[in-house]
């Protein structure tokens, strides 16, 4: 079944909700717009307006030299809130729907609290996002019976943290400032030797700090969609997160499928987690659990209550199918095909032709594109006809962005995906002056145990 045909099955299941209705979709990618229009037209919608943040809505956000992922999300929420006022956005939507009776669909990661008076389908329950707080989520793991690493949480830690920080293994610490939403994109996460724990005392005094050991293993993501009656569990992914020794941060760059022989037990664990989220939290919609695959099994660190960036490089019809399934699940519509959704995502993620990386460049850089090829373990400039990939600098909503596309069939066999990412960023510094600096891949670990069953069944 092609992705477009799978969208047709979703449309048939949702006819009672959309027949004869006008619909407004807010999404991230303009290339998704025709598939949203086709899906909703097949579902019987009277008319469809699709507004994408990288297309129609781009001019309504102030230009910025640099935004964090959390800042970009906050700015987009602020723009959506202007639907309730007299604004350029409300004028645009009112021209399409002057009676203000259209159904609103707002895709992940967006979760605005204000969208005006129109009906919104598939909004997220406020309690679910609470568990994205890194200083809270360990309670959830304990409640559902998912084995985790030890951790400690300090309120307004300050000097108390200095006295109680254990000596021994390296540590990871995550700061949650009071009154702020959970951060995205790995911001506010640091790693350090326990003897030299890096702290911003002013920040620590105004937030909660979770400290846990820096586990040895494969950083990975389990993700899926909790549907009304089943959980669709997707291909588990390795998180590409090179370390920055200079400041103890991580560069969150992309994902890569775990080896296929290791996927089945991780998919089973993903499905089990999804069912536990439904049972304990009445959860519906996209989710992911980030963690470390260790010799003792998977150890969770973070929960994301949304469809994640793992689908940023997916084919647009599949991305629309995943986002639509998540929205419909949150709306309580039971007929989405879980097995079909799993099959489509498995094929797309495992058989993608490219390793795709993305990061923000924090210093001035000129828009440019450089074809590159492998010369041993290094990437060097080459002609387009010889290229194994492309490095490109563009202006984006978060500022200057470096994107990397490397052919997966030409990745050197001796390099892991983590090492290939480090070499790509090193080439970007050399060829495009991106200033990313010295990066280290996480240390390889042999003997990780993907199949160990964690938690109670």
265 bridge partner residues: none
Q: What is the DSSP letter of 271?
A: H
For the whole model, what pTM was predicted?
Answer: 0.90
Return the pLDDT at 5.
Answer: 76
Return the pLDDT at 452.
Answer: 44
83, 186, 247, 252, 361 from 240: Cα distances, Å? 37, 12, 18, 6, 17
How many Cβ atoms from other residues are within 10 Å of residue 88's Cβ? Answer: 12
Nearest of 162, 154, 217 to residue 192 by alpha carbon? 162
172 bridge partner residues: 191, 212
Return the pLDDT at 457.
Answer: 35
CB 182 within 8 A of CB 176: yes
Q: What is the DSSP letter of 259?
A: P
Q: How far apart are the first and last CA of the chain?
A: 33
In this prediction, the residues of the chain whose per-residue pLDDT falls under 70 are 1, 3, 65, 156-169, 181-187, 193-205, 445-457
| Residue pLDDT, tens place only, 348-377 | 999 999 999 999 888 877 889 999 999 999
Return the pLDDT at 447.
Answer: 59
CB 95 within 8 A of CB 114: no
CB 44 within 8 A of CB 18: yes
Return the pLDDT at 190.
Answer: 78
Q: What is the DSSP letter of 113?
A: S
């Amino acid at each position: 079944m092609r992705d477009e045909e799978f969208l047709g099955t979703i449309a048939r299941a949702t006819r009672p909700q959309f027949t004869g209705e006008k619909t407004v979709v807010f999404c991230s990618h303009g290339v998704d717009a025709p598939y949203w229009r086709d899906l909703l037209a097949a579902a019987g919608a009277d008319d469809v307006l699709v507004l994408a943040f990288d297309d129609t809505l781009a001019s309504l956000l102030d230009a910025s030299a640099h935004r964090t992922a959390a800042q970009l999300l906050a700015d987009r929420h602020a723009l959506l809130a202007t639907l309730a006022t007299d604004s350029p956005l409300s004028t645009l939507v009112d021209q399409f729907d002057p009676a203000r009776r259209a159904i609103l669909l707002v895709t992940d990661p967006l979760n605005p609290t204000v969208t005006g008076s129109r009906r919104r389908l598939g909004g997220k329950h406020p309690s679910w996002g609470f568990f994205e707080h890194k200083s809270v989520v360990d309670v959830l793991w304990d409640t559902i019976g998912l084995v985790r690493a030890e951790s400690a949480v300090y309120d307004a830690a300050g000097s108390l943290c200095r006295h109680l920080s254990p000596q021994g293994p390296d540590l990871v610490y995550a700061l949650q400032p009071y009154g702020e939403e959970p951060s995205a994109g790995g911001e506010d996460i640091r790693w350090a030797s326990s003897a030299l724990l890096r702290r911003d005392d002013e920040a620590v005094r105004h937030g909660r700090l979770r400290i846990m050991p820096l586990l040895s293993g494969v950083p990975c993501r389990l993700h899926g969609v909790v549907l009304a009656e089943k959980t669709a569990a997707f291909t588990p992914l390795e998180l590409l997160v090179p370390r920055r020794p200079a400041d103890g941060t991580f560069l969150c760059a992309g994902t890569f499928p775990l080896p296929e022989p290791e996927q089945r037990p991780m998919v089973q664990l993903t499905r089990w987690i999804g069912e536990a989220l439904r049972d304990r939290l009445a959860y519906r919609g996209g989710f992911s659990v980030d963690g470390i695959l260790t010799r003792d099994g998977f150890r969770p660190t973070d929960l994301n209550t949304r469809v994640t960036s793992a689908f940023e490089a997916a084919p647009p019809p599949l991305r629309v199918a995943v986002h639509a399934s998540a929205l419909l699940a949150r709306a309580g519509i039971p007929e989405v095909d879980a097995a079909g959704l799993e099959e489509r995502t498995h094929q797309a993620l495992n058989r993608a032709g490219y390793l795709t990386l993305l990061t923000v460049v924090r210093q001035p850089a000129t828009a440019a594109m450089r074809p590159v090829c492998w010369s041993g373990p290094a990437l060097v400039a080459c002609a387009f006809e010889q290229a194994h990939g492309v490095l490109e600098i563009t202006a984006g909503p978060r500022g200057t962005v470096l994107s990397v596309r490397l052919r997966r069939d030409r990745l050197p066999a001796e390099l892991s995906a983590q090492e290939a990412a480090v070499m790509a960023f090193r080439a970007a510094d050399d060829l495009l002056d991106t200033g990313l600096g010295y990066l280290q891949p996480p240390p390889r670990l042999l003997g990780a145990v993907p199949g160990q069953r964690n938690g109670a069944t």
